[in-house]
């Protein structure tokens, strides 16, 4: 009698484990399927792999926790329940946290990630403008920075960046989603010269400029900003406002023309 | 003389552990859904904020609650 009862309890338990494993395997297969690779032009970046690993772990975790807590909770033995919770409440959340953090830290380096907030559009549009005289545009046009152009100069929000960078990132996000910011935005922080010096200091071009040698200590101590001599890095707020008005006008004209 | 049937009184520690685990499960499910939205839809102001500023802390809370429940149960059993 006892054997039958135990067998009756074990059967659905085994079935649920098999179902769960099948769901996780299907997710992993979908993530690793060559069909997805074709959609991403046959190449899989590290970011894609991490993202899909995170998706698979998140879906697997949600399924596991719902099944364990709500469907099979009373049918599971105490030890099995605890072991499944170890996977659902510790192992999978750790994988998801790791992959998401890596995805955020790597993904935010791209120019496209900056473009996902519309307040950044004037900055990126100016950078890509071949006739713009700004520092960002000159770096972009001359291909001085091959990729991740925003991140190369604004390194504070990266993994090795400062705590202030993360705090400001959170603050800016909060302003953005609550629409409690004044447009055009104004830069309120300070910019560390070391962001420029990491690439420029010690080069032949840098050494040729006499004022660099004379002001080396001042520049290193951030008492003189590089942009004090080398022009505005981005369009000024008034220029950005004009650009925004012009693009709104062009959009309105296009709409009228379409009507 | 009627025989009194004794109903088992649940151990308060076990009840607490069970509550912690239930809360951890709900917190983990909510956190995983938030993170999944971000991973699926990619970089956007709302999805990224929801995934990183809401989802990750919820997952952290779930892990802490789970670890707390494990430690409480091990203490209850005299293992630590």
User: How do residues A161-193 score in pLDDT, each as one tens digit?
Assistant: 778 878 888 888 888 889 898 888 888 777 888
CB contact at 8 A, B66 and A90: yes
DSSP secondary structure letter of residue A132: -
Locate the chain B residue with the closest alpha carbon to A53.
B39
Place of tokens 């006739």: A131
| Greatest mean pLDDT range, A2-6, A41-45, A209-213, B2-6 | A209-213
Residue closest to A100 by CA, chosen among B50, B24, B61, B29: B50
State which H helix or E strand residue B23 sits in.
Answer: helix B12-41
- Both tokens of A120, joined, read 């950044």
Q: For the whole model, what pTM was predicted?
A: 0.70
A170 vs B: CB within 8 A: yes
Q: Do residue A116 and residue B43 have CB atoms under 8 angstroms apart? A: yes
Q: What is the dihedral of CA A181, A156, A194, A208, to 10 degrees?
A: -80
Pair of tokens at residue B52: 């990183």
Which one has a higher pLDDT value, A11 or A76? A76
Using the Cβ of A62 and the Cβ atoms of chain B, whether some distance falls under 8 Å is answered with yes
> How many A/B residue pairs have CB atoms within 8 Å?
92
| Dihedrals phi, psi of A184, to nearest 5 degrees | -75, 145
> Could you report the per-residue pLDDT of A65-116, keeping only the tens digit for each?
999 988 888 888 888 888 899 999 999 999 999 999 888 888 888 888 888 8
Q: Enumerate the H helices of chain A as residue ranges.
A: 2-32, 34-39, 46-66, 78-86, 92-107, 111-115, 121-127, 135-141, 149-153, 163-178, 194-200, 204-208, 210-214, 216-220, 237-258
* Interface check A94 vs B, CB under 8 A: yes
Contact residues, chain B, for A116 at CB < 8 Å: 42-45, 48
Quote the mean pLDDT of chain A.
80
B79 to chain A, closest Cα gap in Å:
16
The band of A255, judged by pLDDT with boundaries at 50, 70 and 90, is low
CA distance A49 to A34: 12
Chain A residue with Cα closest to B69: A82
How far is A147 from chain B, CA to nearest CA, in Å? 18
**SS3 assignment, position B73:** helix
User: Which chain B residues are closer than 8 Å to A97 by Cβ?
Assistant: 56, 59-60
Q: Could you give the CA distance from residue B4 to residue B1 in angstroms, rounded to a whole number? A: 9
Residue A22 has pLDDT above 90, yes or no: no
Out of A10-24, A36-50, A230-244, B1-15, the most confident range is A230-244
Q: Which of B28, B43, B56 sits opposite A107 (nearest CB)?
A: B43
Q: Is A113 in contact with B43 (Cβ distance < 8 A)? A: yes
Nearest-CA distance A111 → chain B (Å): 11
Confidence at residue A36, expressed as pLDDT on a 0 to 100 scale: 41
A86 and B55 in contact (C-beta within 8 Å)? no
Contact B45 A85 (CB under 8 A): no
Question: What whole-number distance in Å separates Cα of residue A61 and Cα of residue A67?
Answer: 10
Flag whether pLDDT at B18 surpasses 50.
yes
Alpha-carbon distance of A256 to A69, in angstroms, equals: 57
Q: Quick check: A37 pLDDT over 70? A: no
| Banded model confidence at residue A151, pLDDT cuts 50, 70, 90 | confident
At A8 the pLDDT is 44
Backbone angles phi, psi at A136, to 5 degrees: -65, -45
Q: Is the pLDDT of residue B40 over 70?
A: yes
Touching check for A132 and chain B: CB below 8 Å? no
Is it the case that residue A5 has pLDDT exceeding 90?
no
Instruction: Please identify which residue in the block is written with the tokens 């900056």.
Output: A114
Fill in the DSSP letter of residue A146: -
């Amino acid at each position: 009698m006892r054997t039958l009862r135990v067998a009756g309890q074990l059967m659905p338990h085994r079935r649920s484990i098999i179902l769960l494993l099948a769901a996780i395997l299907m997710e992993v297969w979908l993530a690793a399927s060559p069909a997805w690779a074709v959609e991403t032009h046959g190449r899989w970046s590290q970011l894609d792999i991490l993202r899909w690993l995170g998706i698979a772990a998140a879906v697997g975790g949600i399924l596991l926790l719902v099944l364990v807590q709500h469907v099979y909770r009373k049918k599971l033995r105490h030890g099995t329940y605890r072991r499944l919770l170890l996977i659902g409440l510790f192992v999978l959340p750790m994988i998801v946290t790791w992959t998401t953090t890596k995805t955020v830290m790597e993904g935010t380096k791209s120019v496209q990630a900056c473009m996902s907030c519309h307040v950044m559009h004037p900055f990126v549009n100016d950078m890509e403008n071949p006739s713009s005289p700004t520092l960002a545009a000159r770096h972009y046009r001359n291909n001085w920075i091959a990729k991740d152009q925003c991140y190369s100069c604004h390194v504070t929000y990266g993994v090795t960046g400062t705590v202030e960078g993360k705090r400001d990132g959170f603050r800016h996000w909060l302003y953005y989603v609550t629409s409690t910011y004044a447009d055009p935005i104004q830069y309120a922080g300070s910019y560390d010269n070391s962001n420029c010096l990491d690439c420029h200091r010690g080069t032949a071009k840098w050494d040729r400029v006499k004022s660099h040698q004379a002001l080396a200590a001042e520049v290193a101590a951030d008492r003189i900003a590089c942009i004090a001599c080398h022009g505005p890095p981005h369009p000024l707020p008034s220029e950005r406002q004009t650009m925004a008005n012009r693009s709104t006008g062009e959009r309105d004209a296009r709409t009228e023309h379409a009507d | 003389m009627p025989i009194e049937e004794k109903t088992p009184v649940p151990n308060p520690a076990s009840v607490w552990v069970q509550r912690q685990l239930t809360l951890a499960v709900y917190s983990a499910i909510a956190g995983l859904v938030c993170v999944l939205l971000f991973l699926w839809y990619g970089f956007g102001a709302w999805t990224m904020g929801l995934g990183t500023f809401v989802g990750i802390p919820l997952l952290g809370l779930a892990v802490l609650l789970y670890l707390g429940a494990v430690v409480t149960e091990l203490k209850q059993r005299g293992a630590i």
